[in-house]
Amino acid sequence: MHHPGSDPIKSTTLFSKESLNRLGLWTFSFLLTVSSFYRGEAVDFSTDVIPILERHCYECHNENKSKASLRLDITDGWSLGGDSGEPLIRAGQPGSSLLIQRITHSDPSERMPPEGEGLSSKEIETIQGWIRDGASLPKGGASENSFYQTDHWAFQPIQRPDVPSATSKSTQHPIDAFVAARQEDMELSFSKEADRFSLLRRLSLLMKGIPPTPEELLRFQTDRDPFAWDRWVDMTLSHPQYGEKWARHWLDVVRYADSNGFETNRERKTAWHYRDYVINAFNTDKPYDRFVHEQLAGDFFGEEAATGFLVAGPVDIVKSPDISLTLMQRQNELDDMINTTSTAFLGLTVGCARCHTHKFDPIHQKEYYGLQAIFAGVEHGERPLQKNLPADQKRKIEELQSQLTDLESEINRWKEKSTTSVKPVQSGTRPPVNARLNEETFEPVDAQAVRFTVLASTSGEPCMDELEIYDLMDLNVALSSLGTTASASGTLPGYAIHQLKHIHDGKHGNQHSWISNSAGSGWVQIDFPSTRTIQKIIWSRDRNEEFTDRLPTRYFIEAKTPASDWIRIADSENRIPHNGKPDPNAFLSLLSKEDRDQAESLLRQREELKSNIQRVSRTEMVWAGKFHQPEPTHRLYRGDPMQKREAVPPGTLQVIRPVSMASNEPEQTRRVKLAEWITAHDNPLTARVMVNRIWNYVFGRGIVGTPSDFGANGLPPTHPELLDWLADEFIRSGWSVKHIQRLILTSHTFRQSSQPNATGLAKDAEGLYLWRFTPRRLSAEPIRDSILATSGVLDPRMGGPGFYLLDVQVENVMHYFPKETFGPPEFRRMVYMSRIRQEQDAIFGAFDCPDGNQVIPNRSRSNTPIQALNLFNSPFIQQQSNILAERLRAACGEEMNDQISQAFLLLHAKMPDEIEIQMSKDLIQSEGLESFCRALYNSSRFLFVF
Amino acid sequence: MKRLPRKLHPLLDRRQFLSHSGTALSGMALTHLLRRDGLLAAGNDVLSGKVSPLRPGIDPAHPNAPRHPHFPARARQVLMIFCSGAVSQLDTFDYKPELWRRHGQPMPGGKDLITFQGEQGDLAKSPWTFRPRGQSGKMISDLVPRLGGMADDLCFIHSLTSETNTHGPGENFMCTGFTLDGFPSIGAWTTYALGSETESLPAYVAIPDPRGTPQSSVNCWGPGFLPAAFQGTDFNATNPLRNLHPPAGITPKQDLKTRSFLTKLNRHQMQEYPGDSELAARISSYELAASMQLSVPEISDLSAEPRHILKMYGADAAGNSTQDLKAAYARNCILARRLVEKGVRFVQLFNGAYQTGGEGVSNWDGHKALEKQYKIHGEILDQSTAALLTDLKQRGLLENTLVVWCTEFGRMPTFQKGASGRDHNPKGFTAFMTGAGVKAPFSYGATDPFGYQAVENVVTTHDFHATLLHLLGLDHERLSYYHNGIERRLTNVEGRVITDVLG
């Protein structure tokens, strides 16, 4: 950013423009200094290298042209390199320096310069020599900041402009004064104020997402208070439905959905906590700077669910054994976090710098990886929602947790001992466990019950599809059909295909399996109705050979004998170790028998303690990410994770006064510092971006037409002074969203009529200069919510788990089918619909409803025949038409005139005129009230905000 | 600073609409738009050699009205046949005699290869015999003999590559040019650029397999961030278009009267809003819907098809579950032909699904029991698809229609360790084209002697897409849409037209 008072760029160049124009005059002051270092054969940059650059390079890589964003006329250019983000030179290593590679490239299309003979071998040797000598560049010849100096408007400080003086009564409101000033330039003028019915409908639809009731309309019309409008604005903003409407806008910006996306597309049953957090934030007018802080680091600020922001995006849970693909998946996850954070808060498309330095904005590739380092410790997933627990329960958990810490350090001592143990490794002889079938044989034993305890698994919570126990007749006596009962440490909740009863149902495969509820551990037990003599056990993960994950690798099996309680009858000890993923408990095999027994008992205690903690905390989980201290982040050449370059410490963008972080900065602190940087008062973007979003959602177009791109590739503001005034007002008000909304809603700009006039359409058809309130189609959610509200069945219940407009078929890969019938469970507001990525609601999805795969700063508004078919023919609309007809009858009896007036008030916020009454009567008389309602739900007046 | 200015009306450019509409306002509005275009032109100068976007002029009231391509097109329509689950090139169209010679031996260099599901077993010849087909003598396997019979009409690309070896991302990549979800499909790009030849049918129809949708489901025909007007409409011969008919209990008279009331009411109420294009578009959408209600059932009604056509496609197959599926797929093929016939711009016909059976069961994902599973899939695919191509040809439809057969990636020349099937392989696989603008018979590019990796004239999926767009008269670098700070393209920042395959 160009700080006022900083030196102009010229003084920082290696060569002034003149020097480039007049070759030979480049030898200015620093040459004298540098030449004093001249020693023997050493190559000097100024005397030896620059003339070569002048001959071959400067024509394209200078201040004016900078092809591939590379400048060779400033020292910054040398250190930053060009689009590839690669440094141009590696001091002392000519062979690995990009500059040498490019001027000596064997492929003519890659070789620099692209035209002509190229450099002579003598010239190449000279440059090689200079690099070999350390590639010293003249000191004082460059500024560190020149790359970041920009005159782009969005990076300039917010300056509160004076409000233009009012020219008439209608422009006393500051917003109107700014808008009127621009209209004057364009020879446009405001339209007259809209009528009160239209005004209230507009206010209600835009701020609450549902139309006003007839009672509200009549009350407002007869409200003679001179401040009536201000009061109605306040009432509307303080209604809880306000938060439900505005949260949906924010959820678009942060690509929120309730499933993982990609092929498995599993549900995130606890993601809704974040959705509720956002609704509540709007309703309580949470200061926006606080809102930013909590979404980035709510774990620090006591708002656990807020970090749902970080992990609201899609994630591919199918990992490939091919490491490069798996690393790329992780890169995509992090890119999603960087991209969402930078577009949502800053209106900057930082994601462009993933593979190369940004083409339009001053964002270097290494800064992208600085941001990546901030998020590098964030993983998709659930964590316990702590804050809802009562204090005594929290204390209990803390107590157990400290026990766990002690236990873990004791286990670690055993691990250390194992590495120093002199005892040779006793490797087993039985075949390693496999997913398909495992057999355990033992001396016949009388048993009342058998327990299978898992100590480790290849991944996740262990899974078994069947446990068979054979008696002396080789009969499987474990089968539930023989009267046995099963119990377990726990079962993964929520899956019809993974249940305890499946462990002994005689059915095989993942579809009929049991999964423990604890990663890498758990036990399952079969109790016989009477004592059995058993001699063999067969168990498997997936006998249908589809799945190999979750396979128990370390386990022991015990029998409860009538004589002596539990005895061990088999275990994994004498098996050849499974060659899958590393077993965290592999150290056990290095210990002596006695030590192993002790260590195993500790491990068992640990598992018990863990499940104990889980039970005591009874914590609600929340899809809000998991955090760990990350490994160092590296810049990746062309964004390729297999081409690691130098390590990059966590950091913010240089173009805005940056915040410094240590390379080993604690993970959480990174995110806290990022939030501080984003909301710093001198950050010129954050406030501008948010007030523009508010403006955009009110008027259908922002002052900046590209709400998530304030960079050089975005559109410039139509009203730059107004934008700055609002941004400043926003910060001064303590970042109050409602304050800005109140300002907008009380302006004449908002309150004017939506009717077009010839002058306005001719000069400004798009309404950029706000000469009317431009009508527009409502988006999917307000349409559906308005239908339910006007038919009278809208369920106002707020928050909690979402409802479904899809039927869910639970499998490894989830499948979703549109519901065909709807009832009260589906009559909540659409913000509470479980939003499944890729799967749109069958009726309203067609209304440009985003599915959460991409951030959506602005929904498109198309009008398509499929929308018309859905709205005209779907059973849902028929049902709602019938309910509305009943409502009209209940309110008005069979008096047709009243029914018609009531319907028009409800759906159109207007009294019908003579023509409307007559055509409505004709239809009702011949086709019934229901048909009339069906038509009204499809009318433009109902579907648009005017 | 460099800048790419653009228009940002929610439904794109109104210029065409305004210039063609007869309202008194249009002349004035045009002035306004042309002035903005002047700004656009000024912006283009600083693009330093980069091509500027060509934005289609879209009338919001008729978003799928036909539009001109960037340059004269070889093909006007596209039929894309997509086989979900990754068809093995080595058991169909990519003949590798080396696999017979080295059957049962390890693949040189293959020992340490870890592919999608893990370790490799030995090289495995195809269970099907390859024979020379047609005049050209192209070697094609007995798994697809009837398609083989069409060899002289086909243009094969044997050196396709993908960026991923996972089905969902792979299907996304082939259908949208990105492995991630949420990007516009190739059909959406095509209809965004060109509209359609018919307004009484959806411009872009996706025909899912009778067994369900592919792994990436609707993302394969999604609009991404393009307006919903360009979304593929999915229906097939088994499951008709949703909400096409009035709900139960509504009589035709009731329906008609309600509709005409709606039209009258809208017109009456919108008198106060002359010249508002978004409101005009709303009214127009109901008129288009009404014409679809007539033409979609008509096109889906196959009863008018003569018996010999049904028989040629295999729509009369019956007797067991495979034959029933074959008949259902055959009906989808007939539907595809009828849609092409009526001028639908982009038809995407799917073979294989994931909803009714995972790995290999109802799709081409033959990991473990390839021979057993492919026998069924070949039986379903071959006759009907070949009949579809024949039928299109005999009706002269291939003159203007480009047919593309593809899949998300290929499979390994080895069997998986301990199994009788092939693992995923994105390093080299086969697609074919036929019809308008395509050189045939022709084979382009090649994999190594084992069919593992593309080694000659390697074609990326971006190149493939660039070529398809080129045949439609579209410059893949200039067909772009501004989204969230980036000019997005089907081909991302890559892609080159494979001129060798152009006829």
A367, A382 Cβ separation under 8 angstroms: no
Chain A residues within an 8 Å CB radius of B243: 843, 869-870, 872-874
Q: What is the pLDDT of residues A154-182, one digit of tens each?
A: 999 999 999 998 777 667 899 999 999 99
Average pLDDT over residues B442-452: 97
**CB atoms A847 and B228 under 8 Å:** yes
**CB atoms A848 and B486 under 8 Å:** no
Q: Which of A46-55, A799-808, B170-179 has the lowest mean pLDDT?
A: A46-55
More confident residue, B283 or B47: B283
Chain B residues within an 8 Å CB radius of A768: none
Number of CB atoms found within 10 A of residue A413's CB = 12
Query: Which pLDDT belongs to residue A420?
Result: 58
In the stretch 278-337 of chain A, residues with CB closer than 8 A to chain B read 314, 316, 318, 320-322, 325, 332
Peptide bond into A113 cis (omega under 30): yes
The percent of chain B in helix, strand and coil, each rounded to the nearest 5, is 40, 20, 45
Distance of residue A879 Cα from the nearest chain B Cα, in angstroms: 10
Pick the most confident of A316-330, A435-449, A742-756.
A742-756
Query: Which pLDDT belongs to residue B12?
Result: 39
B486 at interface of A, judged by CB pairs closer than 8 A: yes
Q: What is the pLDDT of residues A211-230, one digit of tens each?
A: 999 999 999 999 999 999 99
Query: Which pLDDT belongs to residue A96?
Result: 84
B292 at interface of A, judged by CB pairs closer than 8 A: yes
B49 at interface of A, judged by CB pairs closer than 8 A: no
Query: Which pLDDT belongs to residue A37?
Result: 37
Query: Which pLDDT belongs to residue B26?
Result: 32
Q: Which of the four pLDDT bands, split at 50, 70 and 90, describes residue A619?
A: low
In the stretch 306-365 of chain B, residues with CB closer than 8 A to chain A read 354-355, 358-359
**CB atoms B229 and A862 under 8 Å:** yes
Distance of residue B326 Cα from the nearest chain A Cα, in angstroms: 24
Report the mean per-residue pLDDT for chain A. 86
More confident residue, B226 or A66: B226
Chain A residues within an 8 Å CB radius of B25: 758, 761-762
In the stretch 368-407 of chain B, residues with CB closer than 8 A to chain A read 368
**CB atoms B484 and A872 under 8 Å:** no
Average pLDDT over residues B42-60: 62
What are B144's two structure tokens? 């697809």
Q: Which of the four pLDDT bands, split at 50, 70 and 90, describes residue A64?
A: low
B239 at interface of A, judged by CB pairs closer than 8 A: no
User: Of the candidates A196, A205, A55, which has an alpha carbon nearest to the alpha carbon of residue A116?
Assistant: A55
Average pLDDT over residues A417-441: 69
Q: What is the pLDDT of residues A384-396, one digit of tens each?
A: 886 666 778 778 8
Distance of residue B375 Cα from the nearest chain A Cα, in angstroms: 21
**Whether pLDDT at A380 is above 50:** yes
Query: Which pLDDT belongs to residue B37?
Result: 33
**Whether pLDDT at B78 is above 50:** yes
CB pairs under 8 A between A and B: 291
User: Which residue of B167, B273, B482 is in closest CB contact with A755?
Assistant: B273
* Distance between start and end Cα atoms, chain B: 43
Average pLDDT over residues A273-278: 97
Residue extents of the structural domains in chain A = 9-149, 287-384+629-683, 390-419+591-618, 438-584, 876-945
User: Of the candidates B118, B295, B78, B131, which has an alpha carbon nearest to the alpha carbon of residue B201?
Assistant: B295
Query: Which pLDDT belongs to residue A598?
Result: 83
Measured CA to CA in angstroms, residue A349 lies from A234, A257, A360, A656, B486 at distances of 36, 22, 10, 14, 8
Mind giving me the DSSP string for A483-509?
Answer: T-EEEES---TT-TTB-GGGGGSS--S
Q: Which of A128-142, A837-851, B258-272, B337-351 has the lowest mean pLDDT?
A: A128-142
What are A2's two structure tokens? 């160009």
**Whether pLDDT at A61 is above 50:** yes
**CB atoms B8 and A715 under 8 Å:** yes
Average pLDDT over residues A509-527: 90
Q: Which of the four pLDDT bands, split at 50, 70 and 90, describes residue A618?
A: low
Q: Which of A579-588, B211-220, B262-271 has the lowest mean pLDDT?
A: A579-588
Q: What is the pLDDT of residues A227-241, one digit of tens each?
A: 999 999 999 999 999
Mind giving me the DSSP string for B300-337?
Answer: H-GGGS-HHHHHHHTTT--SSHHHHHHHHHHHHHHHHH
Which residues are within 8 A (CB) of A211 and not within 5 positions of it... i.e. 6 or more apart?
A201, A204, A205, A786, A789, A790, A906, A907, A909
Measured CA to CA in angstroms, residue A379 lies from A312, A375, A391, A624, A635 at distances of 11, 9, 28, 9, 20
**Whether pLDDT at B16 is above 50:** no
Q: What is the pLDDT of residues A542-555, one digit of tens each?
A: 888 788 888 998 89
Average pLDDT over residues A73-101: 79
Alpha carbon A303 to chain centroid, angstroms: 17
Query: Which pLDDT belongs to residue A603?
Result: 83
Strands B233-234 and B204-207: parallel
Q: Which of the four pLDDT bands, split at 50, 70 and 90, describes residue A400?
A: confident
**CB atoms B3 and A840 under 8 Å:** no
Residue B199: closest C-alpha in chain A: A865
Q: Which of A2-16, A577-591, B323-337, B392-406 has the lowest mean pLDDT?
A: A2-16
**Whether pLDDT at B10 is above 50:** no
A437 at interface of B, judged by CB pairs closer than 8 A: no
Q: What is the pLDDT of residues B253-278, one digit of tens each?
A: 999 999 999 999 999 998 899 888 78
Distance of residue B465 Cα from the nearest chain A Cα, in angstroms: 22
**CB atoms B246 and A931 under 8 Å:** no
Q: Which of the four pLDDT bands, split at 50, 70 and 90, describes residue A864?
A: confident
Average pLDDT over residues A412-431: 62
More confident residue, A37 or B172: B172
Query: Which pLDDT belongs to residue A876?
Result: 95
Chain B residues within an 8 Å CB radius of A704: none
**Whether pLDDT at A667 is above 60:** yes
Query: Which pLDDT belongs to residue B180?
Result: 85
A758 at interface of B, judged by CB pairs closer than 8 A: yes
Chain B residues within an 8 Å CB radius of A756: 273-276
**Whether pLDDT at A326 is above 50:** yes
Pick the most confident of A798-807, A852-861, B104-113.
A798-807
Task: For the full predicted model, state whether its pTM sits above 0.90.
Answer: no
Query: Which pLDDT belongs to residue A39?
Result: 38
Burial A297-324 (b: 16+ CB within 10 A, else e): bbbebebbbbbbbbbbbbbbebebebee
Residue B233: closest C-alpha in chain A: A866
More confident residue, A495 or A692: A692
Q: Which of the four pLDDT bands, split at 50, 70 and 90, describes residue B8?
A: very low
Residue A255: closest C-alpha in chain B: B182
CA distance A315 to A308: 13
User: Which residue of A812, A838, A869 is in closest CB contact with B217?
Assistant: A838
What are A812's two structure tokens? 């490894």
Q: Which long-range contacts (CB under 8 A, 24 or more apart) does A569-575 make?
A: A569/A440, A569/A442, A569/A445, A569/A450, A569/A537, A570/A440, A570/A441, A570/A442, A570/A537, A572/A428, A572/A433, A572/A455, A573/A428, A574/A428, A574/A429, A574/A430, A575/A428, A575/A430, A575/A431, A575/A432, A575/A433
**CB atoms B289 and A872 under 8 Å:** yes
